[in-house]
Structure 1
């Protein structure tokens, strides 16, 4: 908080010579990185890396705001502290992130060498990353490709938005229709070629298909759903990549969580 003559000022306020500004810095919260047993489920694990099926409701690592238990705390317990240190104390082994409400596959590195090599795979886009989303609406096409840059919303900093070419950052999502359902929604498989914040959520919203439960990006309740979405209905379902150390081809899948079951019941399919 910044004050001028005892009053808070905005970032647009012009100041003059002789003005005295007072800065109030928030108290720094120490990060408690003690291991926490979160009963994490590993889809794949060896001495170099681990792939976790992350539950929804869990952020990947500590950040700004009130301290809370994160996936990083659970990884410290699961791996007995044997994690890469490249990400720093607060991000042990963390190579990439999933949103709090997104469940499914996420990779962590146990050694610094594996971390660097995994980072290269992500940077070169050499991984296959596919998500399943339950989205409002019924696409007329069976598949499509979205190439729209994404930027942070300047007035709502917690949100991202599609922007014009030449602005923001490149973002590319391919999607495929997996099923149409009674109640006015669809199951979509989304493959991301870039890893922008909220990418799938923003891209599907731009097509007019907000993800069920995602009130941040335009979802409003549908009247004939089989259940009320308790979260953003997005799941990291498939990862395929070459093991950075052994060269083994890894093809990993995470089944849909139980919360998805009422929405993908075969008796509700229209196609």
Structure 2
């Protein structure tokens, strides 16, 4: 077991990547909000976490992604064989992920699950949508950590049992409690109570990641507290 404490999250404009763990097989980093995981389309979308890491580590390869505006833990492989092994762990749901989010409103239950199928909303890309006909099964578990009545927001732990695009964001919106700061799905689009916070960032952070090391098989667990 190799728990690692996080450093303070970087802004997207900082020079160096926030590296929490590195060995000959893997890199574990704390991605800042506002930075792409991989290059996007267009010259203005070439700066990304993967390319920043490939400067000091040319063999660094992406295994999974976080949305641009989501911060937190990402693991990258060192070389194609480690990428293949880690990708299998994700595909077989052998990687445990936990997120921290602040959402609008007060949830009616302390804990629960959101089991709603999702698919791409093609006319409104990159948005995703709940789709009971053609959507893929998507499951999110949540636990309410607290409620702030002053601004009517709740703090949640989220555990995605599946890994669909924008899953947490769409599921919380469908539940009627969009994530604060979500300009694509959230309250800023409708002028909700917490819309003032929306100009700052999406309040979603990947705070815990656990997996078997692709070389040794040893269980590693990384913790990166949310910066909000």
- State TM-score, norm by structure 2: 0.87
Provide, for residues 32-58 of structure 1, a one-character-per-residue CA deviation record: whole Å limited to 9, x for no partner: xxxx98311112211100011000110
Q: Residue 212 of structure 1 contacts residue 229 of structure 1 at CA under 8 Å; is this kept in 2?
A: no
Out of 75, 97, 100, the position equivalent to 1:107 is: 75
TM normalised by structure 1 equals: 0.74
Structure 1 residue runs without a partner (length 5+): 1-35, 84-92, 261-271
Q: How does 1:90-239 map to 2 (within 5 A)?
A: 93-164=61-132, 166-182=133-149, 183-220=151-188, 221-223=191-193, 229-239=199-209
Segments of 5+ residues of structure 2 without an aligned counterpart are 1-12
**1 or 2 for the larger relative contact order (CA 8 Å, sep ≥6)?**
2
1:254 equivalent in structure 2? 224
Q: Over the residues paired in the alignment, what is the CA RMSD in angstroms?
A: 1.9
Helix, strand or coil: the match of 1:118?
Answer: helix
Residues 168-226 of structure 1, C-alpha deviations (whole Å, 9 max, x = no match): 21211111111111310001111111111100000000000000011211313444789
- Judged with a 3 Å threshold, the aligned counterparts in structure 2 of structure 1 residues 201 and 224 are, in CA distance, closer, same or farther, namely closer
User: 1:76 — aligned with what?
Assistant: 54
Q: Distance in 1 between matches of 2:184 and 2:195?
A: 19
- Which moves more between the two structures, 183-192 or 219-228? 219-228
* Structure number with larger C-alpha Rg: 1
* Cα distance between partner residues in 1 of 2:216 and 2:193: 51
Asked if structure 1 preserves the Cα contact closer than 8 Å seen for 2:147 and 2:155, the reply is yes
Q: Partner residue of 1:61?
A: 38
The size of the alignment, in residue pairs, is 212
Could you tell which deviates more after superposition, 146-155 or 199-208?
A: 146-155
1:150–1:196 Cα contact (<8 Å) kept: yes
Q: Contact conserved, 1:40 with 1:78, CA < 8 A, in 2?
A: no
Is the 2:104–2:194 Cα contact (8 Å) retained in structure 1? no
